Amino acid sequence: MSSITQALQFVNQEIQQALAKAHRPADAVDLLAVSKTKPLSDIASAYQAGQRSFGENYVQEGVDKIIESQQQSWLKEPIEWHFIGPLQSNKTRLVAEHFDWMQTLERAKIADRLAAQRPSNMAPLQVCIQVNISQEPAKSGVLLEDVFALAAHIAKQPALTLRGLMAIPQKLEQGQELATQFAAMQQKFSELQQQYSSVDTLSMGMSGDMQMAINNGSTMVRVGSAIFGQRN
Ligand SMILES: *Cc1c(COP(=O)(O)O)cnc(C)c1O
């Protein structure tokens, strides 16, 4: 068994244990495998072990892998590709034309560009609003109080489907403070769900804070190095 296959099994077991502890159903959380900087051969290993959704942070690197993957004989059913990095407005076309999901939407102008550039023969781009949960001015994402304004803007675009919220917590924060931020995300997610029937995704939790995120209603965890090994 390859080390990626083993690591993937281990992470999936951790998710199952966290769900059991949180008294949530076994299928309540999806695993997004974050493959940034890793070669397509690693993605192939994870795919062969059953993984179907992958996250990329750098637009051109992601697009190269998407196109290359589509020419591989091991690809039996499509991969779901998620863009999870910062996006400059001059790169929106590449995301609109190649990715299935855009998780780091934080500006109305970017939403407009993605909607205008989404090819009409593709399904709507599935989007999450990135929230700046630690409320630090230097961090990406919208403040919690601005989520509904951006949501209303996205909901007007037929080429975009609003799926929910995404957050990247600060690395150093631990314990109660992070739990408070996760709880605030869960609350906003629940309010958004009441208004928009398309909303079903709370993308929150990485290797170190998975249990806490799952306790607080996360429906998608994003894990990279615990599956593919450390990045250079
Ligand atoms: C890199 C990255 C991850 C995965 O991080 P690991 O520490 O490798 O598990 C998750 N989410 C986002 C947005 C990332 O950029």
Q: Determine the residue of 84, 166, 209 to mutate for testing ligand 1's pocket, defined as the one with the most ligand atoms within 8 A of the Cβ atom.
A: 84
Q: Which atom of ligand 1 is nearest to the CA of 228?
A: 8
Ligand 1 center to 227 CA (angstroms):
11
Residue 213's alpha-carbon distances to 16, 120, 132, 175, 200, in angstroms, are 13, 36, 15, 12, 15
How long a stretch of residues is the chain? 232
Residue among 182, 194, 191 nearest 219 (CA): 182
* 132 CA from centroid of ligand 1 (Å): 16
DSSP state of 20: H
120 alpha carbon to ligand 1 midpoint, in Å? Answer: 31
For the chain, the farthest-separated pair of C-alpha atoms sits apart, in whole angstroms, at: 48
Per-residue pLDDT of the chain (232 residues; tens, 9 = 90+): 689 999 999 999 999 999 999 999 999 999 999 999 999 999 999 999 999 999 999 999 999 999 999 999 999 999 999 999 999 999 999 999 999 999 999 999 999 999 999 999 999 999 999 999 887 777 799 999 999 999 999 999 999 999 999 999 876 555 668 888 999 999 999 999 999 999 999 999 998 899 999 999 999 999 999 999 998 7
Within 10 A of 212 (CB to CB), how many other CB atoms are there? Answer: 21
Q: What is the pTM of this model?
A: 0.96
Helices 147-155, 108-117: inter-axial angle, 10-degree rounding: 20
Ligand 1 first shell, C-beta below 6 A: 34, 36, 57, 84, 168, 206-207, 222-226
In the reported structure, the alpha carbon of residue 77 is separated from the centroid of ligand 1 by a whole-number distance in angstroms of 25
Instruction: Measure 121 CA to ligand 1 centroid, in angstroms.
Output: 31
Q: Whose CA is nearest to atom 13 of ligand 1?
A: 84
> Could you give the domains of the chain?
4-223 (3.20.20.10)
